[in-house]
Amino acid sequence: MDMVLATRSAVFDRLLLAWNDGPEVVLDLITTDYQGHMLQLPSGERSAEQYPQWIRDYREAFPGVTFEVVDQAASGDRLWSRVRATDADGRHAHGMNVSRFVGDRIAEEWAVWSDWL
């Protein structure tokens, strides 16, 4: 694994831990002007300030869901991640996330997810 991919992958792994365990670290991983674009949701825009609450709301709506990286690649200032979510009943949803980095922080993300299967 090259150094850029390893560094960005480590940041993204810490971000997934925030989704798995709580939002405490998320603001350490994103820029203050972060923009998130959740392409499948009508209200799918989020700011850095809103991000921790998005995680809290998701965890309340879907307790017990865990996230894991299936595979990743880096190109330029982007990290491409294929992610799987598993709920308490063993159902899966699959997501694609593109993270744009500025230095070692995520400045922008685009994500789209499948329905639960």
What local confidence, expressed as pLDDT, does residue 35 receive? 96
- The rounded percent of the chain whose pLDDT value lies above 90 is 79
pTM of the complete model = 0.92
pLDDT at res. 36:
96
52 to 25, 101, 110: CA distances (angstroms): 9, 19, 17
Q: Kindly report, residue by residue over 57-108, the tens digit of the pLDDT.
A: 989 988 999 999 999 999 999 999 999 999 999 999 999 999 999 999 999 9
Instruction: Calculate the average pLDDT of the chain.
Output: 93
What is the structure's pLDDT at 1? Answer: 56
CA nearest neighbour of 11 among 90, 74, 86, 95: 74
DSSP structure string for 63-95: TT-EEEEEEEEEETTEEEEEEEEE-TTS-EEEE
Average pLDDT over residues 13-25: 89
Q: How many domains does the chain have?
A: 1
CATH number at residue 64: 3.10.450.50
User: Domain containing 103: what range?
Assistant: 3-113
